[in-house]
Homo-oligomer: A and B are copies of this chain.
Amino acid sequence: MEELIVIKIGGNIIDDSKAVNAFLNDFAVIASPKILIHGGGKLATQLSSKLGIETKMVEGRRVTDEETLKVVAMTYAGWINKTIVAGLQSKKCNALGLCGADANLIPALKRTVKDIDYGWVGDIDKANVNTSFLINILSIGVTPVIAPISSDPEGQLLNINADNIARTIAEAMSAYYRVKLVYCFEKNGLLMDVNDENSVIDEINSARVEQLKSEGIIAEGMVPKVDNALEALCNGVNEVVIGHAKSILQILKNEKGFGTTIKPSAIV
């Protein structure tokens, strides 16, 4: 099986155009077939604020009313996605910007309201990811760049979590490729000491994840990220790494000290 690299870039990186540009320089030279998924950064919050739209976050997730949906569709699928695509084109990487609605790539459904009404937030219909479209465009040398927006069967746009998109794409493509999934953000990996960027945990398995969660070392935003990683491994993804966007090439070469590789229990 051929290797496929699936990279999610998010966190504060997206808000720093110099860091994005440096990352894209590295991303452009990756020789394997590759897919980039990007988050939204703070741009949506800034635009909402300029427009007098209140930003409501519940457990780190954006509550998406009608006006906020317009803002996130514009910033994620419009400005950020096309800026990345144009940047990659200038670096001779033939990028294609997509949201989940395009080519019916990632069908979604509005999240049902239980305790919290997140508004126009969607969950992915995992069984129906359009892998054949991705395989087709990868085969002609095109690199998909995916924004965290999709739609439901009635054509309603929905705000989707980018980490979930990355995991779902990686899982679905693992039937056809040896998939390496990398979550890039602004830290060097999982840290034993959150204040020490040199305390990167090189490898971790699910048992150790549970232990570090109970000790509060894996906390807050890292919890869903690590849970996503473990689930991806259960569902066919070959390798998951969490690390700094600036070290993507070292991470892909499995250089020690760059990123945390998450492994199923049986292996470590």
Contact = CB atoms under 8 A, between A and B. Distances in A.
Interface string A83-102: 10111111100111111011
Closest 9 CB pairs of A and B: A78-B78, A90-B155, A86-B151, A74-B74, A74-B78, A86-B101, A86-B155, A87-B155, A77-B78
Given A97-B99, A103-B96, A153 B78 contact: no
A134 to B, nearest CB: 12
A176 interface: no
Interface residues of A, number: 41
A147 to B, nearest CB: 9
Nearest to A103: B96
Identical subunits present:
2
Nearest to A86: B151
A141 to B, nearest CB: 10
B79 A101 contact: no
Interface in A58-96: 70, 73-79, 81-83, 85-91, 94-96
17 contacts: A50-B51, A73-B78, A73-B83, A75-B78, A77-B77, A82-B99, A82-B149, A82-B151, A82-B157, A86-B151, A86-B155, A90-B154, A91-B155, A96-B98, A96-B102, A96-B103, A103-B142
Contacts of A82: 73, 77, 99, 101-102, 149, 151, 157
A132 to B, nearest CB: 8
A265 interface: no
Given A86-B101, A86-B157, 11 more contacts: A73-B79, A74-B75, A77-B78, A78-B81, A82-B102, A82-B151, A82-B157, A83-B157, A89-B104, A97-B98, A97-B101
A140 interface: yes
Name the residue among A86, A89, A101 with the largest chain B CB count within 10 angstroms: A86
Nearest to A143: B103
A156 interface: yes
A100 to B, nearest CB: 9
A74 B82 CA distance: 9
A214 interface: no
A77 B143 CA distance: 18
A253 to B, nearest CB: 26
Contact of A74 (B79, B85, B103): B79
A91 B51 CA distance: 32
A155 B136 CA distance: 25
A70 B76 CA distance: 12
